[in-house]
Amino acid sequence: MTLKTRPTPGETDWFTHDRFGLFIHWGLYALPARHEWVKSSERISNEEYHKYFEHFDPDLYDPETWAEAAGQAGMKYFVVTTKHHEGFCLWDSALTDYKAPNTPAGRDLLEPMVQAFRARGLKVGFYHSLIDWHHPDYTVDRFHPMRDNEDYIARDATRNWGRYVEYLHGQTRELLTQFGEVDIMWFDFSVTANDRFPGKGREEWRAEQLIEMVRELQPGILINDRLQIDQDIKTPEQYVPREWVRVDGEPVIWEACQTFSGSWGYHRDEASWKSVSMLVRMLVDTVSKGGNLLLNVGPTGRGEFDRRALDRLSGIGEWMKRQSRAIYGCTQAPAEFACPDDCRYTYNPDTNRLYLHVFSWPFKHIHLGGMAQRVQYAQLLNDASEVPMRAGAEEGLLTLEVPVLKPDATVPVIELFLR
């Protein structure tokens, strides 16, 4: 049997079937182009940061091309930053002036994005930052850009936290009432205290009340875990979990979020871009442990996915075009199937097919212990060419006879039809 996860309040079937989504981090930080945390890392004041607001003019923005790139890569949903920690909003919120329509962009940028992705059949997710480095009522904490500014900190006494929480809840309401059906609400994130500043968590966000409102407005929506109350999805960030993610010993629904290069926002000079091969292996590895992959693009200030991102997306799409059967509807294989070296298994419980993803192509043979009686037929997934099998030398051993030349796929997959 495959692992059964702890039940959650939302509708998770589509999510664990689809497995692969696009994260989009787009905001004013695309202009400094040196990490979406630049305001915090460089201790930039609201006044200094304002130049990015005044110059935000994404004249090449065409969400249809974004949706096409995501769909072509095999992604089935997307999650976009409606507001990141800098506080800038992509939509025409009635609750702030700090929004795209008031920049040279001159319009709501979220609505056309939602339309374009939905039209391509992708599900819609909103990332919304709990943290806000622009709002006047948001108090200083360990990450705040003004954490070293004594005057700014002194004015915390005059800040009305309740007003910020109303803003947070009010904007969440806007997002869940003005854009049709929303499939995921992705809040980010609760702040721990340090020796200088208190933290902000479920009490501060009034998380219980917020969650209740979200569920009332969008029944069936999936909510992540960063309000300090676990809901539908656990969200490991920028690492590959060693095994199926558990909470209190129980396997849960999880989604790893990963970057192409270490920055979420567009970063011009970041050089540690992952290869297509590494990204495909990351996707396979994630699904082999029962998880989803949410892979991020940081569009430029002109409103485009840059060449490096497009290259990776199209490379992944080239693989997914023939191999997606080993991803959609798949999960961790039952423990009885011992996976050979340099490989991963994914498994589709509905079709009872096991997929052997070969990370390092071996010479002529792959030996599968204990499988002699279990496999009815084997083929390469990229071209449906038969992989001959014979009973191995040992009891129960099944030997697959594979071509010497690695098949034409970034990660070749052998489809095993089980008995």
**Interface contacts to ligand H79, rule CB under 6 A:** 25, 36-37, 41, 188-189, 237, 257, 264
Phi-psi region of 290 (alpha: psi -120 to 50; beta: other; left: phi over 0): left
- Identify which of residues 297 and 400 has a Cβ nearer to ligand H79 in the complex: 297
- Identify which of residues 258 and 348 has a Cβ nearer to ligand H79 in the complex: 258
Peptide bond into 189 cis (omega under 30): yes
Token pair 């609201």 is at which residue? Answer: 46
- Identify which of residues 229 and 418 has a Cβ nearer to ligand H79 in the complex: 229
Min. distance of Cβ 385 from ligand H79 in angstroms? Answer: 41
- Identify which of residues 81 and 346 has a Cβ nearer to ligand H79 in the complex: 81
Q: What angle do CA 174, 37, 107 make, to 5 degrees?
A: 40
Phi-psi region of 126 (alpha: psi -120 to 50; beta: other; left: phi over 0): beta
CB burial of residue 223 (10 Å; 0-12, 13-18, 19+): buried
- Identify which of residues 295 and 313 has a Cβ nearer to ligand H79 in the complex: 295
- Identify which of residues 26 and 319 has a Cβ nearer to ligand H79 in the complex: 26
Distance CA 8, CA 176 (A): 20
Min. distance of Cβ 127 from ligand H79 in angstroms? Answer: 7
Residue 283 identity (one-letter amino acid): L
Min. distance of Cβ 358 from ligand H79 in angstroms? Answer: 31
Phi-psi region of 340 (alpha: psi -120 to 50; beta: other; left: phi over 0): beta
Token pair 């300090």 is at which residue? Answer: 228
Distance CA 379, CA 301 (A): 46
Distance CA 410, CA 16 (A): 24
Q: What angle do CA 72, 76, 80 make, to 5 degrees?
A: 100
- Identify which of residues 98 and 355 has a Cβ nearer to ligand H79 in the complex: 98
Min. distance of Cβ 191 from ligand H79 in angstroms? Answer: 9
- Identify which of residues 37 and 78 has a Cβ nearer to ligand H79 in the complex: 37
Min. distance of Cβ 32 from ligand H79 in angstroms? Answer: 13
Residue nearest to ligand H79 (CB): 37
Enter the tokens of residue 166. Answer: 């109303």
Min. distance of Cβ 262 from ligand H79 in angstroms? Answer: 9
Nearest to 275 by CA among 240, 311, 236, 317: 311
Nearest to 53 by CA among 128, 147, 133: 133
Min. distance of Cβ 189 from ligand H79 in angstroms? Answer: 5
Min. distance of Cβ 99 from ligand H79 in angstroms? Answer: 19
Min. distance of Cβ 209 from ligand H79 in angstroms? Answer: 23
- Identify which of residues 237 and 270 has a Cβ nearer to ligand H79 in the complex: 237
Q: φ and ψ at 346, to 5 degrees?
A: -120, 160
- Identify which of residues 81 and 331 has a Cβ nearer to ligand H79 in the complex: 81
Distance CA 293, CA 301 (A): 25
- Identify which of residues 75 and 368 has a Cβ nearer to ligand H79 in the complex: 75
Going by DSSP bridges, is the β-strand pair 246-247/250-251 parallel, antiparallel, or unpaired?
Answer: antiparallel
Min. distance of Cβ 115 from ligand H79 in angstroms? Answer: 24
CB burial of residue 19 (10 Å; 0-12, 13-18, 19+): buried
Nearest to 269 by CA among 33, 28, 49: 33
Min. distance of Cβ 256 from ligand H79 in angstroms? Answer: 11
CA atoms within 13 A on the CB side of 112: 11
Distance CA 341, CA 271 (A): 31
